[in-house]
Structures are given as C-alpha cells and as structure tokens.
C-alpha cells in the first residue's frame, strides 16, 4: 500500500448529528471530522458511551446525512450514489440478530449478491463463485447447509460477515461485532478480520468497547472524545500521547501502559508496593495477584519482596511486611492475595513523601 492509494472511505470536514423535523436547529454531536480509511486497513472506532460512535457510523454509511462536509466512498460522494451503487462498495453488519426464518447459511450469504443481480433475480456463475469464496473466507463453508437459526452466536456473526463479504465491498463496517461473543469467539473473530484485510484488500471499520482489542489489532484507531471531536492515529500514538488516558480516565481510573487497558484505583491499600521475584509467566501472574490485592509492583527491593516458586499450586514467601516478625509464606495465589490485603503498608519512600503510591486493579472498559 502506497501513500498515493485512493482512500476506500473518507470523511471531509464532517459534522454528524440530527436535524429536527420542526423548526428547531440541528443538533451537532461531532464536528469537523476528518478521517481516511485506506484499503487493507483494520480500523477500530472507540470512545465512551454517549460520545457519538453510533452517530458517526450511521453518517459514514449513509444511514443519515452529514450536517456539514462530505463522505466519499471510493472517491465518490456518498449522497450521489444510488442504493445499488452504494451496496456494491459498502457492506454493513449490525449487532442486532437478524431473523431470517429457516433460511440456510448459504441462502443468507447469497443475499449479499442482490446488488449485482438483474431485476429477474437470476443467479450467475459469478454470484456462486463469490458466495463460495465468502463462505470460505469467513470460515463457515462447513455450515452452508444448516439453518441459521441452529447456529451459535459466534457462528451467526461469522455468517453475517460472510454475507457482507459476498457483496465484494471496498469497505466493510461492523457495529459491535464482539458484543455477544465469549472470549474464545472474540479472539477467533479478531483473527479472522485481521486476515480478511490482507486477503480481500477491503478497509474494515468496526466499533467496539474492547479497548485491548482496539489497541492490539487495529492499524488505525478512531477515538471519539467527550469534546465532540474524533482523533485518528495509530494505537501506539494515541496511547503514548495520552489521548486514550484523557478520554477514558476518571477520578479513580488511569491508563495502564503495560496492560494496555484502564485500571481502577483501589483505595483500600494506599501506598502498598512490592517487588516480585519470579520469572516468565510465573512472574506475570504473581504480579497480577499483587495488583489484584491492591498493591503496586516495583523494581525496588528495599521494601516488601514477594518470592514465588513454580508449582501447582505455586509456593510463595513475602519478606518485609510488618507487623509480621518473620517472612510469611503459603501456597496458591488466593492465599497470597489474602495475606497482602491483610498487611498492606506504605513503602518507606512514599511514607516520607507523604503521598500514597497509586495502586490499581485492571478493569475492562
């Protein structure tokens, strides 16, 4: 992909909002939005509830006209395209379940070919090829003869993606595609969408509340802020520059760079911090347990030290946690958390400074 590649979708100075049927002035939700979705990019749209994500998506796909500015689809103004022209370049998959009665998976996916059929509705060889390819790309070819109503939520979501792929769009827009999926199905869908950007060359835009997914997978993140603006950049730039933290952080929340998510402060153990002495995955999960107990982790070994040895369950020893006169020890992370919560104290450094060290627990936004 080169810098001269024509954008698949572009918002130019767009203001998104609502026009009243009465004489009241239009209500602008987002102002002066400039966005570019390039072929082969995976783009995530994130932001707090009520910030305007759904309004922006509806504007970008033509479900409602912009109050100002233009939306360009493959270089053409969206408002000048007929429904058939638009459907050949843009496919939309919504969160709400679709009731298709007893239609089979293959029949549902074939609906994606309607924009290409004549008024007689006859299926061509090209239609059949496109449906077969979409079923394969979405990983549902083995389900083609099953009724959609018999499938799990994850399988249904894949089928609806296949229907959209059958349209052979330049842009695929998905509204909260992981909303009703369990963790394993979310991971599968994320991997599939990443693969599809490479195999189809389409720009894939999806809205999500999963901040971790947005930062791990996206080529671009479109961040809808509380100030009626949208910031578009690489996920690393938004995180490093503080835009993510400013958008989501509250009085008791902050952005954890290492975990790439928002953490919620635990005021039950202010100032408590410990060094974890362990290696690899054992250290990772030991630090997770320490933070879950409301402690911070530190590289400073002059204060409390948590030594963890492998095993099922693991063995742990905590040194330097008054009022205990001897190191405490036990087995299993659960007992470690109980111990740390019982004897949390400020570290000497923060006690002298008179300011508590921030501690946190991970929380999914």
Domains and CATH numbers, the chain: 9-248 (3.40.50.300), 273-362 (no CATH)
pLDDT number for residue 294? 82
Q: How far, in Å, CA of 225 to CA of 30, rounded?
A: 9
Q: Give the pTM.
A: 0.76
Burial class (CB in 10 A: 0-12, 13-18, 19+), 101: exposed
The alpha carbons of the chain give a radius of gyration, in whole angstroms, of 26
Buried residues in 252-273 as b, exposed as e (16+ CB within 10 A): ebebbeeebbbbebbeebbbbb
In sequence order, what are the residues at sequence separation of 6 or more whose Cβ sits closer than 8 angstroms to the Cβ of residue 66? Answer: 11, 14, 15, 16, 59
pLDDT number for residue 22? 67
Q: How far, in Å, CA of 277 to CA of 264, rounded?
A: 25
Six-digit token string for 278: 């362990």
**Helices and strands counted in the chain (H then E):** 12, 18
Q: Which residue has the tokens 């099953």?
A: 146
pLDDT number for residue 288? 87
Q: How far, in Å, CA of 20 to CA of 227, rounded?
A: 22
Q: Cβ distance 276 to 299 under 8 Å?
A: no
pLDDT number for residue 113? 93
Say what angle helices 280-292 and 333-342 make with each other, to 10 degrees. Answer: 40
pLDDT number for residue 350? 40
From first to last of the 365 residues of the chain, give the pLDDT tens digit: 444 578 999 999 999 998 776 666 788 899 999 999 999 999 999 998 888 999 999 999 999 999 999 999 999 999 999 999 999 999 998 776 666 778 999 999 999 999 988 776 688 899 999 999 999 999 999 999 999 889 888 888 889 999 999 999 999 999 988 877 788 888 888 888 999 998 999 999 999 988 888 888 899 999 998 888 999 999 999 988 889 888 887 656 677 776 777 766 554 455 688 999 999 999 999 998 998 888 888 998 888 999 999 988 999 999 986 655 567 899 999 999 999 888 765 444 443 333 333 334 443 43
Backbone φ, ψ for residue 45 (5° rounding): -105, 115
pLDDT number for residue 249? 72
In sequence order, what are the residues at sequence separation of 6 or more whose Cβ sits closer than 8 angstroms to the Cβ of residue 337? Answer: 289, 292, 293
């Amino acid at each position: 992909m080169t810098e001269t590649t024509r954008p698949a979708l572009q918002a130019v100075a767009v203001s998104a909002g609502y026009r009243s049927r009465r004489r009241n002035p239009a209500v602008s939700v987002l102002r002066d939005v400039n966005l570019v979705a390039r072929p082969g990019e995976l783009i995530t749209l994130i932001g707090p509830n009520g910030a305007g994500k759904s309004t922006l998506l509806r504007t970008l796909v033509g479900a409602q006209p912009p109050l100002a500015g233009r939306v360009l689809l493959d270089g053409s103004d969206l408002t000048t395209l007929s429904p058939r022209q638009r459907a050949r370049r843009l496919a939309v998959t919504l969160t709400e379940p679709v009731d298709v009665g007893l239609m089979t998976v293959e029949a549902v996916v074939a609906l994606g070919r309607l924009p290409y059929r004549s008024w007689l509705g006859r299926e061509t060889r090209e239609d059949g090829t496109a449906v077969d390819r979409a079923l394969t790309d979405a990983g549902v070819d083995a389900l083609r003869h099953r009724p959609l109503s018999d499938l799990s939520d994850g399988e249904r979501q894949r089928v609806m993606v296949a229907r959209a792929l059958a349209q052979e769009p330049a842009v695929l827009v998905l509204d909260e595609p992981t909303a009703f999926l369990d963790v394993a199905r979310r991971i599968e869908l994320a991997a599939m969408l990443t693969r599809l950007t490479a195999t189809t060359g389409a720009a894939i835009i999806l809205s999500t509340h999963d901040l971790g997914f947005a930062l791990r997978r996206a080529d671009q993140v479109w961040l809808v802020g509380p100030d009626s603006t949208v910031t578009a950049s690489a996920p690393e730039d938004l995180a490093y520059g503080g835009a993510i933290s400013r958008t989501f952080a509250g009085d008791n929340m902050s952005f954890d760079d290492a975990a790439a998510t928002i953490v919620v402060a635990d005021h039950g153990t202010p100032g408590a911090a410990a060094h974890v002495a362990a290696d690899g995955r054992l250290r990772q999960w030991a630090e997770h347990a320490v933070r879950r107990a409301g402690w911070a982790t530190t590289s400073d070994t002059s204060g409390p030290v948590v030594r963890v040895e492998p095993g099922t369950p693991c063995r742990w020893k905590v040194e330097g946690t008054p009022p205990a006169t001897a190191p405490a020890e036990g087995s299993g992370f659960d007992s470690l958390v109980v111990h740390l919560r019982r004897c949390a104290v400020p570290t000497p450094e923060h006690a002298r400074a008179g300011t508590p060290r921030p501690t946190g627990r991970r929380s999914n936004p």
